[in-house]
Each structure stands twice: as C-alpha cells, then as structure tokens.
Copies of this chain bind each other. A is one copy, B any other.
Amino acid sequence: MNSFGRIFRISIFGESHGECVGITVDGCPAGLVLSPEDLLPDLERRKGGKQKGTTPRQEEDFPIFKSGVFNGKTTGFPITILFENKNIRSEDYTKQRSIPRPGHADWVAHQKFGGNEDYRGGGHFSARLTAGIVAAGAIAKMLMKDVTIKAEVIEVGGESDIEKGLQKAIDAKDSVGGIIECRVNGLRAGLGEPYFDSVESVLSQILFSIPAVRGVEFGTGFAAAKMFGSQHNDTIKNMEGETKTNHAGGVVGGISNGNEIVFRIAVKPTSSTPKEQNSLNWDTGITEDFSIKGRHDLCVALRAPVIVEAATAIVIADFMLLEQQIKKVL
C-alpha cells in the first residue's frame, strides 16, 4: 500500500521523527549516471525555510544511497535512498498528544492502527516522506531528457499574487491554502490507457497521496462543466495532432495527445494553523481550546510544486517504460 507504479516502482517508508524517511526505487533502467548530488536541486526546492511562509525547520535532506548504484551508475536493481532525521524536537508534539490535531491524521491513525502509530509529527503521514518522492522524481526526470515538467503556485489564499496571499495569512495570524498548476511538454501521444490506467487516473492517484491535496483537475477542469461542447472541444489542426485550443489539457480518452499536459491541484491551508483552535481532548472526552506549537509552514502549497513535479515524473517515466519509449538499459 506504500508502493506505486508498474515498471518504475517506488516504495516509501519512514516516520517524521523516527530514524529516517526513505524510498526504494525499483525498475529504474541500468546505466543511468547518478549521484546524490543530482537530487539536491529538487530536494533543496522542497525544503523551504528560506522563503516567507515556509517552516524554519531545516532538515539536512541529504540523500544517502544504500543500494542500486555502482561505479556512479544505476545497476538496474532497487535503489534505496535514506534521509536521516537529525533536527528533531519531538517534545513539541508529545505535549499535544491528548488532543488529536484537527485536519491532521492523529484521530484516524489512532482508530485504524489501534493506537500503535508513531504519532510524533505525523509519523508516517508526515509530508517529510515526500523527500523520498522528490528523490525518485529527480531520477525519473533524468530518464527523459526531452520532457519538461514545470509546476508552480498560481494562487495563495485566493490571491493570484503569492506575496499578497501570504500577507493575508500573516495579517490574520492563520494559515492559507493555494493552487498549483503543472505543465508537461515534450511528450509523445499514446501514453496512458483507457479506464483505470488513464493518464488522469494514475496521476490523480499519486497526486492525492501528497498531503493536503483536496482536488485535481485536468485542462479546463471544473470550468468544463459550465461550457458548451462546441466551446470545449479542441480542434485538431494538423497531422501531428496539434490542437487549436487545449481544454483537454493534453489528455483525451485517458491517453496523451501530444499537446501540453496541464493540470491543477488544490492544496488546503496548513492544518497546523498558528490560531487557537477548539477540539476534543481524548483524555477528558470533552472539547477544549488549544494551540499548536512547533514549526510549520503558513502555506504548504509553497513547498509542493517540486513534489507535484516529482509525482508527475514518476508516472510519466513508468508510462514511457510501458510504451517502450525509454530503454531498459540506457
């Protein structure tokens, strides 16, 4: 259940305040020149801490390769990558153990795992596990030189000006949500399958596994529901399949059509708001006011674009391997 993919497959493990988080990438073609340094630019983007609205917690996030790379190249065997947890202040969380944090998985995890879950900092639910996804995504990107995947925040707190949206949060002493848009260029037509392995199906499966994502839409998305068919249909204008418009967002019938793939995700406001909240106290059985301590992002959407790109790259690499567009030995 913590695995994803058919040929290029990832398995994540670890906890926010345990020894480490990590990922195993299986099915990566042999012969890719790869070093930990290749992953650093994307991992750096995920870290935040330098921009307004992201947590000052600075994990080192250096990827430690434990297997699958030999003489500087991938071997074709599983690549296991660890990120040690060094900068931990678990005591911040232990104090709140009696109150399951609203918006967090504390309550459901307790129900599902009978109280055995590692509750510190979200444990296995923590967005810290996305470090592994970002690492795997960086590897996936290296497999497809002609494809560009670019995600960015296009809205924060309802504002298309990120600074303005963040200021709203700062002024309100609250957290805010945001919207991220991702565009993929350079893909050939033919990726994806009708039905359960459609491009949208597989992408949404992994996108909804990014913490805080509440919606996914392709092309015109929800706005398509308000359009006429003659408006929404994209006229094919040449034998390459280029379309005059791109309301479909590059996917028709579940299959890439060679045009730019476009999709957006909605990210909810950080559950760990600085504001005082009211919630259940497990020990007393009654609700009480409390506030969350610890270091948190005002807007988790700000750190998510690189995660969205990684998730997308993982999906596309897998589709390209399935379609024999990437060789098994490079």
Contact = CB atoms under 8 A, between A and B. Distances in A.
Interface of A: 1-4, 6-7, 9, 11-15, 18-22, 24, 26-27, 30-31, 65-68, 70-71, 73-80, 82, 100, 102-105, 107-109, 111-114, 116-118, 123-125, 129, 155, 157-158, 169, 172, 174-179, 189-190, 193-198, 200-202, 204-209, 211, 213-239, 241, 243, 247-249, 252-258, 266-273, 275, 277-280, 282, 285, 287, 301, 322-324, 327-330
Contacts of A118: 70, 75, 77
Given A4-B196, A226-B158, A232 B269 contact: yes
Contacts of A21: 67
Contacts of A74: 116
A228 B174 contact: yes
A259 to B, nearest CB: 10
Given A102-B235, A232-B271, A233-B273, 15 more contacts: A2-B196, A77-B194, A103-B232, A111-B257, A112-B189, A157-B226, A157-B228, A175-B229, A175-B230, A177-B224, A177-B227, A201-B206, A209-B254, A235-B277, A238-B285
B19 A268 contact: no
A238 B13 contact: no
B80 A233 contact: no
A92 to B, nearest CB: 17
B218 A215 contact: yes
A140 B137 CA distance: 32
A129 B195 contact: yes
A81 to B, nearest CB: 10
B26 A252 contact: no
B225 A158 contact: yes
A77 B230 contact: no
Given A280-B237, A285-B239, A76 B112 contact: yes
B229 A116 contact: no
A225 B158 CA distance: 7
B221 A209 contact: no
A66 B19 contact: yes
A100 B3 contact: no
